[in-house]
Structure 1
Amino acid sequence: MLKRNVTTLAFLVAAQAATADEFAPALEAYLHSNVTAWATDPVILDALRSANSRTGDFDSDQILALDQAWRAEVGQSNTPTIEPILNNAAADFLRGQVDASGGAISEIFIMDSVGLNVATSAVTSDMWQGDEAKFTQTYSAGPGATHIGEVEFDESAQTYLGQVSMAISDPATGELLGAVTVGVNAEQLF
């Protein structure tokens, strides 16, 4: 336990002195060596296609109404907006990736063509990611686009986390379907 605390303390001191750009190469390497291998699994692609057929024509009022409903349900026992996103085959697949990461991944969620959560490994604070860089710099930028977020200290996890995101395209057709965001435990990258 003492070794873990000393290692964590050393990382925290180094992380406080580092800029986001110093973590970007390690986060990007993690994205390409770990996430791309499973981000186009059929269960993910099917979930995105299905969501896009339902939400692809939503206007901003419909999107914001869903997001407001989600936010109101966070932490509540009755969660009819959150429940289908948290409990589906793609969400189960994402939780499997979190478990298989050995602590390197804290969360994963996939977003449809309008930036709404389709599946998530755990409850997120909001449903609509369409106004955030994790979506605007991936899905909105087109196939192959990635976004590396800043590494920040997460109070609830008591560790430094960074988010890596990428656009998801159908490998057979090239059709852009959505995006994925992965919360990575930065301590495990070094």
Structure 2
Amino acid sequence: MEVALSMNLRLALGLSLATILASSVCQAQAPTLNLYTFDSPPYQVAGPGTDETGKVSGETTETVICAATRAGWQTRIRIAPQNRALHSLKRSIVSGYFAIDASTELDTIARRSDPVALEKWYFFTTEEGKFNGNARIGVVDGSNEEAWLETNGYTIFMSVASPSQLLALLRRGRIGAALMDERVMIDLQEENQAEGPDIKAHFVRYAPLHLYLTEAFVARYPQFLPEFNRILPTCMEGQLALSGPEEFRIRALADRLIRELHGTLNIGQTVEAAPRHQNFTDVMTQDSVWQVLAPDTPTALASYILQLPGSRALHGWRVAQDGLVSEAMIINDMGTLAAMSGLTTDYWQGDEPKYQEVVRNTRRGLMGLDALYISPIRFDASTSQFQVTVSAPVEPIEEGVPKAIIALGLNAEEALRSQDIP
């Protein structure tokens, strides 16, 4: 009897321990984020199998997986038709849906992440000259592009099943323009080498595409979205570079703007009139206080710089650019601000690429606009704009370091739409 009781006790303890261990393993396992997306190579690509079983790959898919994994979540991503995905999102059947252009309708029922992808939309035509908005426009049925055209009052002449059909229709003259992502068109042209008229590209917009999460999911896991957004830029590194033609246009525009600024402002006098510190410790002290108070409140030093003639001239010049220039500043050889068009988030710019890359170029012997630095595209969540920073040295250059650096923040979309550059 005692032997039986002892065995039963050991068995019960063993089962209890197994249950505890199994529970611990389950608790340690990352939760799963159930998502829908749609087939859109090279961003989301359906693998072999059905919509429910095929592995989904592609650049945007990998970005979402990366950010979710670093936030502590597993992902289950499936391809679904748009109608089913939206139905499932509205009824919280899935946790979320990507990669979707910002939608007023979805904003009322779900929470939008920062961009998980950046597409570059162009009207592609076979006609020379400026794009004619009255052209017969073709688009992929059910796409983000189609929704955008409808929202913005364009008349759609034809909706088709795939981008390859659009290219064929464009080459045959059945449509006058096709709206699609630049990379999609490049891939199509590489795959389809058939002779035909040259394709001309007319920039329309940068299209930030988002992950929409259900309100129920966000309410249950309130920390997920802020953490996902914080991690996203790291997971998107390298995806926000300017293409070759875009960089050429930005460089041409920067050349004009910087030359114009030299004619508006005496840079040398501006630098001489600005405060200058004796040592780096003083710079760091001022920068620390500046960062704590900005952007809501200027320090005494910031207020002084904002009132300098150089800053007032920069501000007036920036406003006259009608939205093209978001920020303008003059940086001295210590990396501190000598003039600014508005209050910046920090005083010392010497640790930032807009300063360091120009100095690196001048130390290699490059001068003037040959030493120009152009940053990758950056999404500003506060303004929902895409920004590019350009910076260039101001002579004289002593021991490889320029007397000053001009740095301009540009609205990337406005820059690429500008008609006064090639």
Q: What SS does the aligned partner of 2:266 have?
A: helix
**Secondary structure of 1:162's aligned partner:** strand
2:266 is matched with 43
RMSD over aligned CA atoms reads: 3.0
SS at match of 2:347: coil
Distance change in 2, residues 1:42/1:96 (3 Å): closer
Q: Which residue of 1 aligns with 2:353?
A: 133
Give distance in 2, aligned partners of 1:140 and 1:121.
Answer: 25
Classify 1:124/1:41 alpha carbon distance in 2 versus 1 (closer, same or farther; 3 Å).
Answer: same
When residues 80 and 37 of structure 1 are mapped into structure 2, their CA distance, relative to the original with a 3 A threshold, is same
Q: Deviations over 1:41-76 (max 9, x none)?
A: 453320113348x33xx3321221121121122145
Deviations 1:96-136 (A, max 9, x none): 11111111001111101100011111111111011111111
Structure 1 residue corresponding to 2:391, chosen from 165, 180, 183 = 165
CA distance in 2, matches of 1:103, 1:78: 23
Aligned partners of 1:39 and 1:168 also within 8 Å: no
CA deviations on 1:145-179 (whole Å, 9 max, x unpaired) are 21101111111222111111111125xxxx93210
Change (3 A) 1:114 1:120: same
1:9-48 Cα offsets, whole Å, 9 max, x none, are x5132899x7413132222111102222223645332011
Letter in 2 for 1:39: H
- Structure 2 SS opposite 1:81: helix
Mapping for residues 24-173 of structure 1, pairs under 5 Å: 24-39=247-262, 41-51=264-274, 54-55=276-277, 58-77=278-297, 79-139=299-359, 141-142=361-362, 143-144=367-368, 145-169=371-395
Residue 114 of structure 1 aligns to a residue whose secondary structure is: coil
Helix, strand or coil for the counterpart of 1:183?
strand
| Structure 2 Cα separation of the partners of residues 183 and 86 of structure 1 | 17
**One of 160, 182, 186 as aligned partner of 2:408:** 182
Alignment TM-score, normalising by the size of structure 1:
0.80
Equivalent residue of 1:12, what SS? strand
- Is the partner of 1:157 in helix, strand or coil? coil
CA displacement at 1:85 relative to structure 2: 1.7
Q: Which has the higher contact order (CA 8 A, sep 6+)?
A: 1
Using a 3 Å threshold, how does the CA distance of structure 1 residues 66 and 40 change in structure 2: closer, same or farther?
farther
For 2:298 and 2:349, locate their aligned partners in 1 and report how far apart those are by CA, in whole Å: 22
Does 2:215 match 1:21?
no
Structure 2 unaligned regions, length at least 5 = 1-150, 154-178, 180-203, 210-235, 418-422
More deviation in 62-71 or 137-146?
Answer: 137-146
Q: Secondary structure at the match of 1:63?
A: helix
1:153–1:160 CA contact under 8 A, matched in 2: yes
Q: Amino acid of the residue matched to residue 289 of structure 2?
A: A
Larger % of strand: which?
2
TM-score w.r.t. length of structure 2: 0.38
Contact 1:111/1:118 (<8 A) preserved: yes
Unpaired runs of 5+ residues, structure 1, are none
- Which whole-Å CA distance do the structure 2 matches of 1:165 and 1:33 have between them? 13
